[in-house]
Structure 1
């Protein structure tokens, strides 16, 4: 059923607006703010309420539904949870105004647009370009690849836990809670980001990726965002310094790299499903 749900998610993404209607975080963020107002609550207890409790309720619900009607009642629950667990926003659409400014040759406007729309600051156009490429790679990873990895491996509960940890780490105003959420997120990022970077080696520049991964594969402290950016740029043969217009075109080639990696993952998921 997991592979069927993954295929249905692609169909919903392409032909439906269900994702936009379903991904409403108001209730969760309200509970996060309420717990933070109670300053005497321990961060681990807050995470237990915000993350562990919803995941436990979901697992219990699926345990009840899966034996009924050969699991057909559990299928929509899987689908809805996975759609909710995907990332927020559209990275390619968010980069539209920035690309327009760059195509006009107005690099100063591009710097302002990046700060306004993406919260991204840079001293000059080349450094901004590197950050934008990293933004695209990181957004694709945490929005899609990490979620479907944990869903296929451990089910919808793991996918939901990942998204709730992301929301806690991004929206928490309490430093202790934010730090604990980021620690747990780093743990959940460690394996899928390395699987994705190895996928880059298979669909991109294998030698360049392996040169980086020989040093970083087992390194615990490197962040997932930094790793996926470095390896993604290497897989696409992007030099450290590049003309702005050529670097902008690299966004399309990076997107194609991500699409090839997604196809590779789905092929692996399908093969695993058939063999088992």
Structure 2
């Protein structure tokens, strides 16, 4: 059922607006901020995480435990699908990059810097650094929005996928530094395996030798963040040249996107093969 859910999730992502209707975080974020603002919970970050992350995933696990035996698990299928869709990243990555791409193609660096700050929350000291940061943003957002979620769903099911997204939301939106720090630590642990698996996938669909050189030093490095690792590996795997203004700079973003698409196809082929052989 896992592979079927992943196929349906991709189809819905491309051809339906269901994702926008499912991904409503307002109520959950209000409860998180309300809990953090309470004097009783202000110095208890682990308790906040237990209530806002562990409790929802425990309720999901209980619901699935009840539904799995009914009708050969068919009633659990829509729950799996909704959880996976909710757990995917927020926003449309390619649409958010659109204004930046237009400005960069025109070599209007001032406009590119403005839209990068407005749409992507990215700032840089000069044009070259700006493009490098946008390239890193593309790789990181694609990883955390899609690859990390489908990895944990396929390995451990919807409970793990939901846990990953709730930890990510907590780390990004928490107003309590202690809560945000602990959520980021737990997310880092969640990222350790899938980000390295994606790096290995880049080696298979990109420049194998260049990726191998990077991974030789970073494979077991616990301290490097997932964002930094996928940035370093993605740029060498796609053989991205030095940043330049104009169409050539936009071509580097296209090459990174094509690299990500090839990696996604490789992952789905692996999932399909595992499903057949298991």
TM-score bracket for this pair, using the shorter chain length: over 0.9
Paired residues for 1:98-113 under 5 Å: 98-113=100-115
The offset of 1:39, in angstroms, is 3.0
The 8 Å contact of residues 3 and 270 in structure 1, kept in 2 or not, is answered as: yes
Give, in whole Å, the separation in 2 of the partners of 1:208 and 1:13.
32
The offset of 1:109, in angstroms, is 1.2
Counterpart of 2:52 in structure 1 is 50
The reply to whether residue 10 of structure 1 matches residue 10 of structure 2 is yes
Counterpart of 2:28 in structure 1 is 28
Counterpart of 2:182 in structure 1 is 180
Aligned-pair Cα RMSD in Å: 0.8
Pairing partner for 2:260 from 246, 258, 261:
258
The offset of 1:40, in angstroms, is 3.0
Counterpart of 2:74 in structure 1 is 72
The offset of 1:15, in angstroms, is 1.3
Q: What's the CA shift string for 1:149-199, capped at 9, x where partnerless? A: 000000000000000000000000100000000000000000000000000
Where structure 1 has 5 or more consecutive residues not aligned to the other structure, the ranges are: none
Moved over 3 A (4+): none
Paired residues for 1:240-259 under 5 Å: 241-245=242-246, 246-259=248-261
Give, in whole Å, the separation in 2 of the partners of 1:99 and 1:39.
46
Give, in whole Å, the separation in 1 of the partners of 2:182 and 2:23.
24
Counterpart of 1:228 in structure 2 is 230
Give, in whole Å, the separation in 1 of the partners of 2:107 and 2:237.
27
Counterpart of 1:84 in structure 2 is 86
- TM-score, L = length of structure 1: 0.98
Give, in whole Å, the separation in 1 of the partners of 2:14 and 2:99.
22
Pairs aligned (count): 275
Where structure 2 has 5 or more consecutive residues not aligned to the other structure, the ranges are: none
